[in-house]
Structure 1
Amino acid sequence: MSGDDPQGVDRPSSEQRASNAKGAALAREKLAQAKADAQRRGQLPRTEPRKKKGGPKRDSGDPMLFGAAIQDLLAARGWEEPVAIGGVFGRWREIVGAELGLHTRPEAFEDGEVIVSADSTAWATQVRLLAPTLVRRLNEELGDGTVTAVKVRGPNLAPPRQAGHIRVKGSRGPGDTFG
């Protein structure tokens, strides 16, 4: 085989090298021609980077980190606070401690107030006593002033009373029949 090296490495023949050189020269010539055409049209590529105005801008086709894309979406929709509160509710045990988290759970967040339910009256009392500490700890997670109060609901041990299923149709009758 022509062009074989005694060590088993294929090397291009002089004919192939000449062809490669012609191809490279042709490519350089075509690139120069494309640049000249672009210059005539006024569409030369930029030589210096774009200046950022105000904040980070990106071209619509540029890739973006997933976390940054989610943050942009949350900010654009105004969902930052609800998502942060949902994160606190999801990490409730971690934030308030294992024992307190085992006996309580956050129910809602309305107008700066976190509504917490407890599984016994003793734990409800404990949460009421710890309310200022909980407000401070929750504000550390969410930002100062987000949580203003903690409201506690005790256990709801009995189901709500429902009216019976048996009904008597018709009028109630005269009022003096029981006497």
Structure 2
Amino acid sequence: MSMDDVPETVATYLRLRGLQPSSSSWKRKRRIVTDDDNAPFTPGRDPGVLGDVLQKLSKDSGWEITLSREDLVRQWHDLAGAETAQHSQPVSLEGGMLTVQCDSTAWAKNLQFMRAVIITEIGRRYPEAGVENVRFIGPDVPSWKWGPRAVPGRGPRDTYG
């Protein structure tokens, strides 16, 4: 081994001590890169945008439909408008049918007239949610059919006359 292969500081030290560098101890081993995917500073190694990474994760995991449906419910205020959202809220989404409960039957009827516009907007903003139709219902009405002594049938009726 020649003195050219040894670093200058080591060569100076060995020369002052009167020794010759060994052939194997000071030889630098070069790392052989066989896998280009792990090599630093190569194309494609830059960090990704967090939004893109999360979108890929949700798509690969099959979460897109669930997340889109939850976004639809959470952002109903923006979708339907401020005044409409004060009087209505989505309550279920099953089989492509979104059910929206309203404060009164008058609000349910008014929203029924706007159904085509609302379905179009839902399809544009949340296509993965799978909403095909919207049903507007009024407030919960008390039922006569409850309790341990409920009788099957039509319920109480006017029997006088």
Query: Which category describes the TM-score, using the shorter chain as reference length?
Result: 0.5 to 0.7
Following superposition, the deviation at residue 77 of structure 1 comes to: 2.2
Task: Give the corresponding residue for 2:87.
Answer: 103
Aligned-partner residue type, residue 45 of structure 1: V
Within the candidate set 129, 135, 140, 1:151 is matched to 135
Within the candidate set 36, 59, 62, 1:78 is matched to 62
Alpha-carbon distance between aligned partners in 2 of 1:84 and 1:145, rounded to the nearest angstrom: 5
| CA root-mean-square deviation | 3.6
Corresponding residue SS for 1:114:
strand
State, as a whole percentage, how many aligned pairs show the same letter: 23
Following superposition, the deviation at residue 126 of structure 1 comes to: 1.0
Q: How many residues align?
A: 124
Following superposition, the deviation at residue 164 of structure 1 comes to: 6.1
Alpha-carbon distance between aligned partners in 2 of 1:31 and 1:161, rounded to the nearest angstrom: 93
Following superposition, the deviation at residue 81 of structure 1 comes to: 1.4
Runs of 4+ in 1 over 4 A off after TM superposition: 62-65
TM-score normalised by structure 2 residue count = 0.61
Within the candidate set 42, 45, 52, 2:33 is matched to 45
For CA contacts below 8 A with separation 6 or more, give which structure has more relative contact order: 2
State whether residues 102 and 138 of structure 2, in contact with CA within 8 Å, keep that contact through their aligned partners in structure 1. yes
Alpha-carbon distance between aligned partners in 2 of 1:150 and 1:87, rounded to the nearest angstrom: 16
* 5+ residue gaps, structure 2: 1-7, 13-24, 38-43, 150-161
Alpha-carbon distance between aligned partners in 2 of 1:87 and 1:146, rounded to the nearest angstrom: 13
Task: Give the corresponding residue for 2:96.
Answer: 112
State whether residues 66 and 129 of structure 2, in contact with CA within 8 Å, keep that contact through their aligned partners in structure 1. no
Aligned-partner residue type, residue 97 of structure 1: G
Within the candidate set 29, 34, 40, 2:29 is matched to 34
TM-score normalised by structure 1 residue count = 0.56
Following superposition, the deviation at residue 94 of structure 1 comes to: 0.8
